Chain A
Amino acid sequence: MNADYAGLFQALRPEAYLVIGALVVLIVDMIWARHRPANRHHVALALGLISLLMAGYAAATSGASGAIYDGMFQLDPLSVATRTGVILLAALALALLPDAARLRHPAEFTAILLFATTGFTLMAAANNLLVAFLALELASLSLYVLAGFDKASPESAEAGLKYFLFGGMAAAFLLFGFSLLYGLTGTLRLDLIGQQLAQQGPTPLLIVALVMVLVGFGFKAAAAPFHLWAPDVYQGAPAPAAALIASASKLAGLVLFTRLLWPGLGSAVGTIAHLPVTVGWAPVVALISGASLLLGNIGALAQSNVRRLLAYSAISHAGALLLGVIAAGRTGVGPLFYYAATYGLTTVGAFGVIGALESAGRVQQLTDLAGLHKRSPLLAGCLAVFVLSLAGIPPLAGFFGKFAVFASVLQLGGLAGPAGWLVICAIALSAVALYYYLLILKQALVAAPADNAAPVRVSLSATIALLIAAGLIVALGLWPSAVLELF
């Protein structure tokens, strides 16, 4: 094989910055910052953000140079946009780092977050089953640790353990699926797998492999029926970790699996645009999507815990995103990427508000948000933007994302077919969703604060992160072309 190390290094500069940054954070903390408890948290935050910014700049300017290192990586516009996107989301999540009183080891947290981000960026560019699996595992293992990072809280430990058990199971299925694919085609490269499968045509073994892969995908996207970890993890994990799991991890996972399903398994897609449905992965993804839409939206109605509510809302959004995956290969990845990226921004923002509030006490129940407009108008205003965007109110980005994805699905076959029916179902359920989103806003904007509630002080980094996220949601909602024209 033709090993082009210079080209590989050039392409992987963002990952290099992230890994070096993680090591520097750890070393500086060990040698210098550990003895200065007052500054420890600021040092870790500053170093982490610098490394993320450098990596983000490198990722954004890397250019779509095509296949790298004998097809191990694929740098197309999608991977450039995704790498930049996950790094931005990780930077926003890191900016929510709680102060020293609530997080005892800020340097470790930052370093692991950077490793997770490395995993995300590799997932975004991977074009090889092994690289994809390794990147996925690097990201997942880091996230398990982050979810259980709050050692003082049993819920956090429970979240870490549950996430780990479910994740390990899903990874096993995924690896089995990958091994079947390799056995069927004799190659690990996604594009070559695609060519091979196009010649072979569908076989029963391929269907088994598909189902295995989709289990892994369903887990990563928190789609029903592989969603069971999501409510507990969202509830127990520290806010920045939950923000990362809900946003960057989802974006990277969706892009990885879209790449796997379309260029890799595109010949086995089947169709759901018209009746009768033909066999392939699209009908399975459509089933998962429909189940997630139903379960997410209806489950969310019953929640009184705001984090669990966000988890169920994440499940329902996963359903809509999966619809986008079905359409992505036919009508372009633009709508899917736009939806996933802006959804990531809103969840980072929502967890950011929760994290910022936690400096003034626990935030679990919806009533813990009561009177937020009195306690901190900034947080209340940002939360309103995020929640309205999740609900899909124009002109925020959430509305346009939903609209673009649904329109792209309808381009498959109009309303006349299972794809069209799913869109009808999704739109009807988004009216249901409005109810529970308004419940959050009602507490935050209308209800009176509790008697002992004090004004909330928000750290500078969190303030900036929230304003950036809210500003991007409004700006991208008004000028979606800025993202859509990347593809």
Chain B
Amino acid sequence: MNLPLLSLLIFTPWAGALLLFVLRRGLSAGLARALPVVFSASTLILGSLALGRFDPAVTGMQLSENQPWITALNVHYHLGLDGLSLLLVLLTGVISPLALFASTRSVRNPAIHGALFLLLQGSALGVFLALDFFPWFVFWELSLVPAFFLIKLWGGPGATRAAYQFVIYTIGGSAFLLLGFAALYAAAGTFDFTELAALTHSGALAGKLGGGFWPQAAFLGVLLGLAVKVPLFPFHAWLPPAYAEAPTGTSMFLTGVMSKMGAYGFLRILWPIFPAPLHAAAGPLLWLALGGVVFSAFAAMKQTDLKRMVAYSSINHLSYCLLALFAVAASGPANPAATTAALSGTILQLFNHGLSAAALFFCIGVLESRASGLRRLGDFGGVRRAAPVFAGLCGISLFSSLGLPGLNGFVGEFLIFRGVFGLAPWTAAVATLGLLATALFLLTFWQRVFHGPAAGAGVNFRDLDAGDLIALVPLIALMFALGIFPQLLTGLINPLITAWAATLP
């Protein structure tokens, strides 16, 4: 049987969204809350099927689907999967149902909320699977619309401003991305990522772009679009308000899945298609990534709003990924062992950060809902005494986030530092400042909220109920599993990374 598995992955959530939207008035309250989660979980099931068919030893695209779409522009509906896409699809499959389950119990108007969420989920999957710029960009932009409404309509008091900022920043960036690709298309006549990468590899693309400054201009356009999305310092200003104002489930998805879209773009697009301009620009970019690592960690220390704190720590964690990428791009094939370490670390960090940040946003959501909207650092105290289970699980998430060995966060960060020390030792040395600050603010969070005498909203804090546990325990279990057996993931990506490291410019 030859199912179009990847199309099913993308369009099952969308079909669910359509169904929910059509039936929004006819559904019983229970069904309106359960159906979105069921459709959302389809990603995990179909993703596992894809995992079963996936052959890690093959480094090219697998399970490809390629149909002509707009013949006049040579646009194809081209989907494909490699180890990187597969990991991100699985991450989406884990995070989305849990995020939806965490929020759907309490949101108003759950059918519409679920429909928008499924729309967002399908778009994110489309970004991870599309191999032609045109459908990729459609998914990329389309993800903004449901995200905007989810933040705007279900978010906190500052949600309007945050949602606007989020959309305008991102679209402003993607306008330049579009320009870069329009130039690429005009030069090469194709939108296909693999074909463009092959053209680059053979050296034909730079000449077609007109030589001189113009390949750099196209590169800068694409870079800007992706940099806003990740975000790369200093294009991050939209992120803290957006994450902080979004409702809990959306925050979990934004940080767990959507923030990976930008980093994925770096790996899938910028790296293979623009290796030479990236190499040339990698020095300054490395400093920007370093700035992201250090400044966002120190900014997080200054936050009193817990959600903003975790949002800044998200920037910090993703900046590690960029740091490793740029370090590899800057130094070329000088040190293969360090290169492979840095690249594996990047991909593991993407996955692990998704788990730990989503878990942290969930925990803050619990704090917020039990304290009728309060979520400042000083609003709580001694929660551990009243709610030991919650304190334990939240603590595990915190320690995973700061990279305690034995938990998943450690593996990625360790590999990244191992790689960057081999490639650009000074930046690695400065980046440890970020590690230090991260430990400081996460431990402050842990100490102020959970320890000390019961105070503020921490008095008589209600512990986790069964529903909360269902949402949180799978994440915690994965943190342990991947911390102890990281080869579960590395097995999927190792051949790919070896191939990447071998073809460095």
**Contact status B160-A446, CB under 8 Å:** yes
By beta carbon, the residue of chain B nearest A405 is B182
CB of B214 closer than 8 Å to a CB of A: yes
Chain B residues touching A, majority SS: helix
Residue-wise interface mask of B (145-164) relative to A, using a CB-CB cutoff of 8 A (1 in contact, 0 not): 10000001100000010001
Which residues of chain A come closer than 8 Å to B179, judged between CB atoms?
A: 406, 423-424, 427
**Contact status B167-A395, CB under 8 Å:** no
Determine, out of B67-75, B277-285, B362-370, B382-390, the stretch whose residues face the partner at the interface.
B67-75
The total number of A-B Cβ pairs within 8 Å is 88
By beta carbon, the residue of chain A nearest B179 is A427
Q: How far is the CA of A399 from the CA of B142 in the complex (A)?
A: 11
Q: How far is the CA of A85 from the CA of B138 in the complex (A)?
A: 26
Residue-wise interface mask of B (181-196) relative to A, using a CB-CB cutoff of 8 A (1 in contact, 0 not): 0110111000000000
**Contact status A404-B152, CB under 8 Å:** no
**Contact status A431-B152, CB under 8 Å:** no
CB of B171 closer than 8 Å to a CB of A: yes
Residue-wise interface mask of A (370-402) relative to B, using a CB-CB cutoff of 8 A (1 in contact, 0 not): 000000000000000000100001110001100
**Contact status B183-A420, CB under 8 Å:** yes
CB of B379 closer than 8 Å to a CB of A: no
Which residues of chain B come closer than 8 Å to A395, judged between CB atoms?
A: 138, 142
**Contact status A446-B72, CB under 8 Å:** no
**Contact status A414-B183, CB under 8 Å:** yes
Which residues of chain A come closer than 8 Å to B209, judged between CB atoms?
A: 414-415
Min CB gap A392→B, angstroms: 9
Min CB gap A140→B, angstroms: 33
Contact of A435 among B168, B182, B186, B217 (CB under 8 A): B168
Which residues of chain B come closer than 8 Å to A403, judged between CB atoms?
A: 178, 182
Residue-wise interface mask of B (201-237) relative to A, using a CB-CB cutoff of 8 A (1 in contact, 0 not): 0000000011011100110000000000000000000
Contact of A414 among B69, B71, B141, B214 (CB under 8 A): B214
Which residues of chain A come closer than 8 Å to B182, judged between CB atoms?
A: 403, 406-407, 410, 423, 427
Which residues of chain A come closer than 8 Å to B186, judged between CB atoms?
A: 407, 410-411, 414
Min CB gap A146→B, angstroms: 35
Interface residues of B toward A: which range? 35 or more
Residues of chain A from 403 to 457 with CB closer than 8 A to chain B in the complex: 403-404, 406-407, 410-411, 413-416, 420, 423-424, 427-428, 430-431, 434-435, 438, 442, 446
Determine, out of A152-160, A300-308, A477-485, the stretch whose residues face the partner at the interface.
A477-485
CB of A334 closer than 8 Å to a CB of B: yes
**Contact status A410-B183, CB under 8 Å:** yes
Q: How far is the CA of A423 from the CA of B176 in the complex (A)?
A: 11
**Contact status A404-B73, CB under 8 Å:** yes
**Contact status A480-B185, CB under 8 Å:** no
**Contact status A446-B217, CB under 8 Å:** no
Q: How far is the CA of A404 from the CA of B181 in the complex (A)?
A: 12
Which residues of chain A come closer than 8 Å to B141, judged between CB atoms?
A: 393-394, 399
**Contact status B210-A416, CB under 8 Å:** yes
Q: How far is the CA of A322 from the CA of B69 in the complex (A)?
A: 27
Min CB gap A320→B, angstroms: 13
CB of B137 closer than 8 Å to a CB of A: yes
Which residues of chain A come closer than 8 Å to B176, judged between CB atoms?
A: 427-428
CB of B373 closer than 8 Å to a CB of A: no
**Contact status A446-B152, CB under 8 Å:** yes
Which residues of chain B come closer than 8 Å to A424, judged between CB atoms?
A: 179
**Contact status B212-A416, CB under 8 Å:** yes
**Contact status A394-B187, CB under 8 Å:** no
Contact of A485 among B72, B160, B217 (CB under 8 A): B72
**Contact status A407-B185, CB under 8 Å:** yes
CB of B172 closer than 8 Å to a CB of A: yes
**Contact status A414-B70, CB under 8 Å:** no
Which residues of chain A come closer than 8 Å to B213, judged between CB atoms?
A: 416
**Contact status B70-A415, CB under 8 Å:** no
Q: How far is the CA of A431 from the CA of B224 in the complex (A)?
A: 13
CB of B175 closer than 8 Å to a CB of A: yes
Q: How far is the CA of A407 from the CA of B175 in the complex (A)?
A: 13
**Contact status B171-A431, CB under 8 Å:** yes
Which residues of chain B come closer than 8 Å to A399, judged between CB atoms?
A: 138, 141
3 tightest A-B CB contacts, nearest first = A410-B186, A484-B72, A394-B138
Knowing that A393-B141, A395-B138, A431-B172 are A-B contacts, what are 5 other residue pairs whose CB atoms are under 8 Å apart, sorted by A's residue number? A406-B179, A414-B183, A434-B167, A438-B167, A481-B71
Query: Can you list 20 residue pairs at the A/B interface with Cβ under 8 Å?
Result: A395-B142, A403-B178, A407-B73, A407-B182, A414-B209, A415-B214, A415-B218, A416-B210, A416-B214, A423-B182, A427-B179, A428-B175, A430-B175, A431-B175, A438-B167, A438-B168, A446-B153, A479-B70, A484-B73, A485-B72
